[in-house]
Structures are given as C-alpha cells and as structure tokens.
Amino acid sequence: MTPWRRRWDRIPRPALDAVVVVLAVLDMWFNAWSWSPLLVALLMLACVALVFRRRSPLTVFLLTLPATLLLDIVVAPLVALFTLAARSRDRRLLAACATVFAVVTVIPSPFDGHGSLGGTWTVFTFVYTLATATAPVLLGQLVQAQRDLSQRLVEIQTAKEYERELHAQTLLARERAQLAREMHDVVSHQVSLIAVQAGALQVAARDAHAQEAAGVIRSLGVATLDELRTMVTLLRASGGDSTELTPQPTLADLQRLVASSGIATKLSGDLSARVGTPTQRAIYRTVQEALTNVRKHAPGATATVELWQDDHHVGVTVTNTPSTRPSLPLPGAHHGLIGLQERADMLRGSFVAGPTAEGGYRVRVRLPAEPG
C-alpha cells in the first residue's frame, strides 16, 4: 500500500462526508438563481444523499439528478458518479449514468431564465459535460482497479509463501528419504554383517571370554539394527504408514482448513474410521492444493468439498465456480497437481483434474480404502 493511500485511509469517514457535503452546498449556493421551496428541497435531498453514497451509490446518483436539472451544479452528481464507478463493474451502467448526467445538464432549467440553448451550443455543452462526467468515472474505475490489484498482490504473496513452504518441505522430505536409503543400504548392511559374524564367532569360539565378547557384540548389533530400523522409519518421506517427525494433517483437520481458506466453501460428506493415515493425508493435501488454486486463479469463486466412499474406495471431489473478479495471469508449472498425481499413484489410486462445463474447475482423487 502506497503512503498516500495509507494517509487517505486514516481520514475518518464522517469527516470526509462532511467535507463533501460542504463542497456540494457551496456549489449550490454560488449557482442558485432563486430559492423556491421546491429547489431548496431538491438541493437538500442531493446534499443529504451524499452521506449514504457508499451504501447505495446508484440511488444517490439518481437523487442528485433533479437538483442538477433545476440548477447548474456539478459537485453532488460527480461525487456520486465517482462513488458508483469505484464500486460497480458494470461499464454499461456507468456509461449510461454519465450520458444521463450530460443530458440532464443541457435540458433548460426553469430557474435560469435563459430558455433553451441553440442547437450548436447544446451539442457543444453536451459533449463538454459528457467529457467532464467521464473524468470521475475513469478515476473511480482506477481506484477500483488499484483496490483489486492490492487484494491480488496479497493473495499472490500468500500463495508464494505457501509454495515456498511447500518447496522447503519437499526438499526436506527428499533429503530425509535419501538419508534413509543410505542408512538402510550401507549402515544396515554392515551392522547386519557384524551381527552375523559375531554370532558365528560365538558358536565357533572355545574360550569362554571370547564367546561372551562375541555374544555382547551380537546383542549390540541386533539392538543397533532395531534402533536403525526405527530411525529409517522416521526419516522416510510421507506416503507410507510411517510415523512422521512432526504431526501430519488428517481428516479431522479438514474443517479448520476450509474455514481458514478465505473462500466460501461448503464441506459435505464423511469418511469412516477405517481410512488409513496415508489416505487421510492424501485427501487433506488434495483439498489444500485445490483451495489454494481457487484462491490464486479464480478470485471470488465459491467451492464445494465432497467426501465420498464406496465398498472399496474413498475419495474427495473439489469443485469451484467461475471467478467473479478479473484475475491476473500468474505463472505456474502445475507442480502442485503433479504432486497430487504422484501421491495418488503411490497409494494405487487415481487423480483427475480439469475444467467444468460451467467454466469452473474440478479436482477428484480416488484411493483404495485401507485399514486404519
């Protein structure tokens, strides 16, 4: 957020509304030709309506038109038009409102005493007023684009932090898996040979002290193998029945994941307790990756997370609607979807992802039901 934007946001809304109303009143005061009861009522209506322009900008803009018709004012209608442009994405509506303002401005007012303008001057005034009305419309659209861009930058930063964390976890898992393989292939093999040779020495030795020493070596070798097997189990990457070094997410954490996703998401379905930990983890990661992609590539979309199971399989389907806000083109190599495919293959399941007929996106993983 830029410094001027931060300073602007620090201004209290009531103070800003008061300044706008004062400017509108001054504009009406200097342009009034008379103070008939009807004119005063319409002017007061236009000024008071500006206070509520953020709640209903279109209605407030329409309420300023009668005063604009009777008096040559610009502050109230242009402020209302700017507020409408900053909140509406309907450009046809904005163009129509700017045109209506220009038409109302060139209609002769019964209070100015000049009657209708000539044809050439009317066209010139209409074009000039339309150009004037275009300025707050473009400025409001610029403010809206800046607000959307700031929101998208926050979402991009959040996604980048998540991807950075995921990349670090992937590197850690790869290093742990490599270390586990080295320990299993090299250390375990050599310790096993030591234990076997010690056992053979214990049987063949004639001296009691030698037999005792060989027995101790053999016992230590067996104990070392047991400890080594435990360490290898801890170091192996996720995807098996192994115990992780840190607590891993399960289906019990899905509700918290959905609630903290920042997306309007409906979670339905349930899975039985017979679903194993690796399958639960795979389903959790699928939902996590799918909701992350919705936040990155479909801003404003809603999502549904459906857990399902049959006699032999369990799975989850995540479907999102089309985006309701323009999204920025973000680079991506689909590593997350590739990782989900690899995880499903590891568990002898299937993974499908692709667009829906309605313009959204669907991710579906199907895994064998396994004992918990």
At residue 176, the pLDDT reads 73
Rounded mean pLDDT of the chain?
A: 79
Of 345 and 244, the one with more pLDDT? 345
Band (245; pLDDT cuts 50, 70, 90):
very low
As to burial, measured by CB atoms within 10 angstroms (0-12 exposed, 13-18 middle, 19+ buried), residue 279 is: buried
Whether the per-residue pLDDT at 101 is higher than 80: the answer is yes
Of the listed ranges 18-22, 60-64, 235-239, the least confidently predicted one is 235-239
pTM of the full predicted structure?
0.45
Using CA atoms, how far apart are residues 134 and 141, in angstroms rounded to an integer?
10
Band (243; pLDDT cuts 50, 70, 90):
very low
pLDDT in tens, 138-164: 998 998 888 888 888 888 888 888 888
Using CA atoms, how far apart are residues 113 and 125, in angstroms rounded to an integer?
18
Using CA atoms, how far apart are residues 284 and 38, in angstroms rounded to an integer?
66
- Contact indicator for 80, 41 with CB cutoff of 8 Å: no
Using CA atoms, how far apart are residues 203 and 197, in angstroms rounded to an integer?
10
Out of 13-22, 93-102, 208-217, 235-244, give the one with best mean pLDDT: 93-102
Name the β-bridge partners of 268. Answer: 306
Whether the per-residue pLDDT at 352 is higher than 90: the answer is yes
Band (241; pLDDT cuts 50, 70, 90):
very low
Whether the per-residue pLDDT at 115 is higher than 80: the answer is no
Whether the per-residue pLDDT at 304 is higher than 90: the answer is yes
State the angle between helix axes of 37-49 and 57-70 in degrees (0 to 180), rounded to the nearest 10. Answer: 150
Q: How far apart are the first and last CA of the chain?
A: 49
Share of the chain above pLDDT 90, in %: 13
At residue 19, the pLDDT reads 83
Whether the per-residue pLDDT at 217 is higher than 60: the answer is yes
